[in-house]
Structure 1
Amino acid sequence: MPDRPLVVVLLATHDGAAFLREQIDSILGQQGVDVRIVVSDDGSTDATPALLDELAADPRIVQLPAGAYGSAHANFLRLIRDAPVDGAAAIAFSDQDDVWNPGRLAAQLEQLRTADAVSANVIAVYDDDRRVLLDKAQPQRSLDFVLESAGPGCTFVLSPAAFDLVRHVVRTDPEADAAPIHDWLVYAIVRAAGMTWHIDPAPVIDYRQHAANDTGANLGWSQARTRLRRMRSGGFRREAAVVARIASRVAEGEQRARLAALAALLERGDARARLALLRGIGSLRRRRSERIALAGMLLLGVW
């Protein structure tokens, strides 16, 4: 039987014992590939450490020494910096509380034949049994990565070359730790370098929604109010400025200058900066409705 491609899966955990076994079972049960799960635990105080010790009897599961990182972003950056990825045909990211479709990795490896990185839509699954498609597969824009991710990071699969670039930036860029969230940062690094990213419209996981989600589906009025408050405070704009600066140090030529200029605009909140952002809004968001909403906030001075 020919060797099957190895996918290294980076799994960040924190107090996830209620969901972790089902998640890991769905990863180990992937069809057509071999997997190595590398786990980093962020100071869990529930049964997660004991469960990981039990599951690590399987040689496909590698535990990094547990630490205290304080956020999913910091924990994933630790995995990016330190996880052993030798021999991998691809590197994937995993949350602790989802369920992967059995053919997910095999399908995404096929897509990596013509792309440097891939992501996909998901089905948000709620405690009341609702299932909602989260569609992130709109056509990409030249600078959409400055303001948004390619979708949930738990759908990301990177080629070794793309992962090596991300690892280098995370290890060396002085602002990597200050970026808002790992998936947005990873998408920005890969895109800014001119690598290709495919967003598949087919959902690949059940994306569990519950009270303990670190980052969830971002749907509903409550989430909309939270986003608006973040916009009005300037927090989101400053986060995007960090991403743009990191991306500018990855890019080359005209793209580098364009990103540096965009970062400078995002640091400002004055009317002239807002008008300059408004002129380039067509390049900043994939979804038309979000471009319209952002244009309105720029015109009203809300953002």
Structure 2
Amino acid sequence: MISKKIAILLAAYNGGDSISDQIDTILSQDVDNVEVYISLDLSVDDSFDICTSYVRQHESLKLLLYGERFGGAGKNFYRLLKDVDLTKYDYIAFSDQDDIWPETKLSKAIEKLQQYDCYSANVTAFWEDGREALIDKAQPQREWDFLFEAAGPGCTYVFKREVAIQFKSWLLERYDKIGEDISLHDWLLYAFARSHGYRWFIDPESMMYYRQHANNQVGTNNSFAAANRRLKLIKSKWYRNQSTKIAEHLELQHLPVFKYGLSKGYLGNLYLLCHIIKIRRRLRDRVALSFALLFNLF
């Protein structure tokens, strides 16, 4: 049994149909000294009653003050990072409300964190109709990939206390602005960690079942509808805006990828196209982004 203290930050919203399954798999982890902090966005289902019931039964579960409307997973996780005392823990993990964790999820991550500072993993997406698909994010990391993608689903992230404390300190200095500018907490944390020299391991083994449904904020890209949804985000310049905002908040304007790429409109697109190998990990994603850059869709 691992004796180090672990904090799990669980963001939830209208999760009544699945949050019990998620909490049960957390409670079944083969590690001890785990405490779970739940931040529940103002919901219209029975999520609050379910969470309250679990908290009454398990001393290791804590429900943060309820009643605030965050409007997105990012702001909810920022709230967790702000309000939870992370200094008491050796490791911090993110959790969504509706996934299925194998009992070795945390122990495998902590084993890898003896050599690295941050951990994420591949996941197996699953649908209610029984379909499953591996979501492979474990390609070799690239020089600037952190400005263009996350390290995989944030619900696989586990990281050391030092990273958590440094990220929290940085976040609190610009808390309101970050909440308005950066939608995806997992992408932001990956960018922060990589740009600050922390070592990140992306596990090629699938370490979680990642539930897919209409309410996923991003979800997998293994369907025409999902691909079309992402294409619309690209065409609206949402992705470019997020990349740019992350670079600006991290004060990375000196990097060539920002100076000659993100800040230069279509000419910048041509620069990014010439350096596409440095900005996305997966070949398929590099091809798709190249197309978007060439036709000024990014």
Aligned to 1:123: 124
Distance 1:206 1:180 in 2: 23
CA RMSD after TM alignment: 1.7
Shift of 1:246: 2.1
Equivalent residue in structure 1 for 2:258, among 254, 262, 274: 262
Shift of 1:300: 2.3
Distance 1:126 1:159 in 2: 32
Shift of 1:135: 0.4
Aligned to 1:21: 20
SS of match in other structure, 1:18: coil
Q: 1:33 to 1:263 in 2, by over 3 A?
A: farther
Matches within 5 A, 1:148-159: 148-159=149-160
Aligned to 2:244: 241
Q: Deviations over 1:45-68 (max 9, x none)?
A: 211111111111111011110121
Aligned to 2:83: 82
SS of match in other structure, 1:248: coil
TM-score by length of 2: 0.93
SS of match in other structure, 1:158: strand
Aligned to 2:37: 38
Shift of 1:268: 4.3
Shift of 1:71: 0.9
Aligned to 2:281: 286
Query: How many correspondences in the alignment?
Result: 294
Aligned to 2:4: 5
Contact 1:245 1:263 in 2 (8 A): no
Q: Once structures 1 and 2 are overlaid, which stretch shifts more, 226-235 or 86-95?
A: 226-235
Aligned to 1:216: 219
Aligned to 1:91: 92
Distance 1:231 1:281 in 2: 16
Shift of 1:102: 0.2
Q: 1:156 to 1:3 in 2, by over 3 A?
A: closer
Aligned to 1:299: 294
Shift of 1:283: 0.9
Distance 1:71 1:268 in 2: 30
Distance 2:168 2:81 in 1: 6
Distance 1:171 1:136 in 2: 29
Distance 1:157 1:267 in 2: 32
SS of match in other structure, 1:201: strand
Q: 1:212 to 1:245 in 2, by over 3 A?
A: same
| AA at the equivalent of 2:268 | A
Shift of 1:216: 1.5
Q: Deviations over 1:62-110 (max 9, x none)?
A: 1110121111111011001111324312000000001100011011001
Matched, 1:226 2:229: yes
SS of match in other structure, 2:39: strand
Aligned to 1:176: 178
Aligned to 2:205: 202
Contact 2:86 2:165 in 1 (8 A): no
Which runs of structure 1 show a deviation greater than 3 angstroms over 4 or more consecutive aligned residues?
none
Q: Once structures 1 and 2 are overlaid, which stretch shifts more, 34-43 or 261-270?
A: 261-270
TM-score by length of 1: 0.92
Distance 2:230 2:259 in 1: 20
SS of match in other structure, 2:133: strand
Distance 2:123 2:2 in 1: 29
Q: Once structures 1 and 2 are overlaid, which stretch shifts more, 42-51 or 240-249?
A: 240-249
Contact 1:189 1:246 in 2 (8 A): no
Q: Deviations over 1:17-69 (max 9, x none)?
A: 11111110100110033210001111012111111111111110111101211
Aligned to 1:252: none
Question: Identical aligned pairs, as a percentage?
Answer: 34
